[in-house]
């Protein structure tokens, strides 16, 4: 079962509760950290990652998911399919409903041309995380830099404005 309050899977039996992370919850936590402009994140316990790939299609799936998400390859949840029956029908016939969650949208100016972080051409205090979408283009998620920092393209991260030699040029069009 997934608990929306902890953004991850949980196991519950009677009054006992245990929560843990999986690939989906790690991706959600990394996206949250980027959206909030946090300076970093940490793993409490790396020894619980599947380092031999015994229960995953790859070794270290949690750490690799964090890295891929930081680079803009945000995994998306597959569509949810539910089967229901109509109790008022004389012979109940199953119906299938598919629901998809809308993702981020590409900036109208075509900023995203490759996966990963890319500069916001209109604001030096933000950038986009670009990720490939099913239609062959890119979805973009805006990330705002913390106060006092700007996006530095060579390091692909927000840094103190005073540490960027060409900050005036990067920020010339920023209000």
| pLDDT at residue 38, rounded to an integer | 84
Residue whose C-alpha is closest to residue 117's, from 108, 164, 126, 109: 126
pLDDT digits (tens, 9 = 90+) for 81-108: 455 555 665 554 444 433 333 344 445 4
**pLDDT range class, residue 77, cuts 50, 70, 90:** very low
**pLDDT range class, residue 78, cuts 50, 70, 90:** very low
pLDDT, mean over the chain: 76
Backbone angle region of 107, left / alpha / beta, with phi > 0 → left and psi within -120 to 50 → alpha: beta
Asked if the model's pLDDT at residue 70 lies above 80, the reply is: yes
Q: Are 108 and 129 in contact (CB under 8 A)?
A: no
Instruction: For 22-35, give one letter per residue: b (16+ CB within 10 A) or e.
Output: ebbbbbbbbbebbe
What residues contact residue 158 under an 8 Å CB cut-off, 6+ apart?
37, 125, 127, 145, 146, 149, 150, 151, 152
| pLDDT at residue 94, rounded to an integer | 46
| pLDDT at residue 86, rounded to an integer | 59
User: Longest C-alpha distance within the chain, in Å?
Assistant: 74
Mean pLDDT confidence for 123-137: 84
- Give the Cα separation of 101 and 124 in Å (integer): 30
**pLDDT range class, residue 75, cuts 50, 70, 90:** low
Mean pLDDT confidence for 144-157: 84
| pLDDT at residue 84, rounded to an integer | 57
Whole-prediction pTM: 0.44
One-character DSSP codes across 15-61: TEEEE---HHHHHHHHHHHHHTT-S----S-GGGS-TT-SSSSSSSH
Q: Which domains does the chain have, with CATH numbers?
A: 1-75 (no CATH), 103-175 (2.170.140)
């Amino acid at each position: 079962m997934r608990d929306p309050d902890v953004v991850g899977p949980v196991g519950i039996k009677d009054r006992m509760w245990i929560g843990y992370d999986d690939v989906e919850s790690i991706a959600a936590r990394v996206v949250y950290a980027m959206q909030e402009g946090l300076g970093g994140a940490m793993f409490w316990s790396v020894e619980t990652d599947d380092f031999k790939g015994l229960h995953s299609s790859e070794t270290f799936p949690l750490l690799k998911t964090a890295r891929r998400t930081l680079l803009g390859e945000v995994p998306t949840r597959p569509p949810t399919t539910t089967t229901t029956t109509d109790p008022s029908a004389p012979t109940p016939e199953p119906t299938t409903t598919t629901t998809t969650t809308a993702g981020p949208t590409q900036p109208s100016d075509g900023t995203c041309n490759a996966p990963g972080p890319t500069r916001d051409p209109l604001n030096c205090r933000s950038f986009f995380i670009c990720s490939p979408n099913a239609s062959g283009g890119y979805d973009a998620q805006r990330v705002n830099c913390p106060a006092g920092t700007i996006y530095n393209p060579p390091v692909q991260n927000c840094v103190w404005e005073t540490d960027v030699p060409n900050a005036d040029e990067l920020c010339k069009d920023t209000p």
